[in-house]
Structure 1
Amino acid sequence: MGETAQRLFLLNAWRETELFSEKEKAVLALTEAMTLITNGHVPDEVYKNAEAHLTPNELAAVIMAVVAINGWNRIAITTRMPLD
């Protein structure tokens, strides 16, 4: 889909690289905060930064995508679904 291997391999280091735009970094920060929600709520600054870089529809789409992915991950972990 046009994504480079370099960006995929550096995804876990998104804070330390200049390969991601400010908008992408805002999405990644929100995704991380939502995924680690057991550590507390999504920080206001993370949400406000995402809100500043995304349209309301984009923000809703990101939130729903993160919810869906995290839901499926939790189902896979609970059922001990093998990775194929």
Structure 2
Amino acid sequence: TEFQTREGRPGPVTNFRGVPFAGNGIFLFWDPPDEPNGFIIGYQIDYRTIESIVAQPGLDQPSIIIQDPNQRSYLVGGLK
């Protein structure tokens, strides 16, 4: 007997790392999750600055949405 289950939320990305860039940025790198639980259609990056955590602890920052499932890096700039 064979059956299929619905796609689910993927596991976390693997080999996640950040490299400082140009004094005010960070280059983020990652590999796909070991357990994709279906097709990966993109990635979402959420981050908060220390200043925003202290000043407005409950405020959500906008997410960075990457719609290319083959993209494995992203430069976050304009940091302090």
TM-score between the two structures when normalised by the length of structure 1: 0.28
Identify which of structures 1 and 2 has the higher relative contact order when contacts are C-alpha pairs closer than 8 Å and 6+ apart: 2
TM-score between the two structures when normalised by the length of structure 2: 0.29
Greater per-residue helix proportion: 1
Greater per-residue strand proportion: 2
Greater C-alpha Rg:
2
